Amino acid sequence: MKRSMQVADYMKKDFQTLDPEMDVLRAAKLLIRLDISGAPVLDKHGRLVGMLTERDCMQVALQGYYHGEPGGLVKKHMSPDPEYVSPDKSILTLAEMFINGRFQRYPVVDNGRLVGVIARWDVMRALAEYYPG
């Protein structure tokens, strides 16, 4: 029997989060070191308030180049109120979101709580398992 095709089955449950008060250059270096394209930003109560992506970090670098020293806090540069998915969403629906959208990863939220992160690569893994060749 084929495995379930839900986000919950393929999302990362061990993931990096960022603090909105963190220095954005420090956060960017963390993303580089961990080889990830972005991370959820949580407030002091653990609520999802944004995502900091490689695109956001590139904008910081460009602003620094054109306007002086790059930097600032994550909250100034993150993408606020990020789009997220639920753990019971279908992997195929998520694949459509990736194809039609601009994001490379989504936070996974269940009952208002961040429970995981799912990236394009996770969808590829799911599809490879579902359609073995």
Residue 97 CA, chain-centre distance (Å), reads 14
Intra-chain end-to-end CA distance of the chain, in Å: 16
Return the structure tokens found at 76: 């100034």
Q: Which letter does DSSP use for residue 104 in this model?
A: S
Overall residue count recorded for the chain in this entry: 133
CATH number of 7-130: 3.10.580.10
pLDDT grade for 3, boundaries at 50, 70 and 90? low
How do residues 12-29 score in pLDDT, each as one tens digit?
A: 999 999 999 999 999 999
Domain locations in the chain as residue ranges = 7-130
Residue 68: Cβ within 10 Å count: 8
Q: Which letter does DSSP use for residue 9 in this model?
A: G
How do residues 75-127 score in pLDDT, each as one tens digit?
A: 999 999 999 999 999 999 999 999 999 888 999 999 989 999 999 999 999 98
